[in-house]
Amino acid sequence: MKLNCINSIVRVFAVTILFLSCSSDLDFDQVHDLKLEPVYVANLAYFDIPANELIADGGTQIAYDSSNFDVFKKQFLRDYLTKAAFDVEIENNIERGFVINMLLLNSKNEILTTSSYAVPAYKGTPNSIKYPTEVFENQRLELLKQTEKIGFVVLMSSGVPLDENSLGNIKLRSSATTYFEIEVE
């Protein structure tokens, strides 16, 4: 009986302490000052072309391809994107040099901007080049937001002609890092 009485007193004392604990007023207006700055990384473009598909008939332009790039049709990207950075890596194991031009095109197929990447010929050692990051901010970012297609032009440098028995390939890998700023007021 004495034990039950002591347990009851301890419980009442514990509950009383819980109600007397320290607290401060909560400021729910802080939600209006919310600022998010997410960063996303995504694949931009990739190709892997075998040497025997790069046979030029007297000219230097041997390949062209474009694909739709409609990410900027989304209002969210147009409103909150503050910066974009493109990273490009090209691996060449063909005994011939190339220049690869990446074209950003608008809805009328007009070229908004061109990035050129010189690719040296393969000389028997690994030939993978990571090019400097290309950053789009301010006016250049506004130009990027008009992009609806990405095109690639592969130009062959002078050297030994390629034929259907030529070995090797040229690979392009690229990614885009996008920076957003979302502010709630």
**Per-domain residue ranges of the chain:** 43-183
Q: How far is CA 142 from CA 93, 110, 146, in A?
A: 37, 15, 7
- Let me know: does 162 contact 94? Beta carbons within 8 Å: yes
Q: Please state the pTM of the whole predicted model.
A: 0.75
When mean pLDDT is compared over 20-34, 48-62, 123-137, the highest value belongs to: 123-137
pLDDT one-digit tens code per residue, 159-176: 778 888 888 999 999 999
Rounded Cα distance, 145 and 147, in Å: 5
> CATH fold of 43-183, please?
Jelly Rolls (2.60.120)
pLDDT greater than 60 at residue 185: yes
Between 18 and 77, the more confident residue is 77
Q: Is the dihedral angle over the CA atoms 171, 158, 129, 140 positive or is it negative?
A: negative
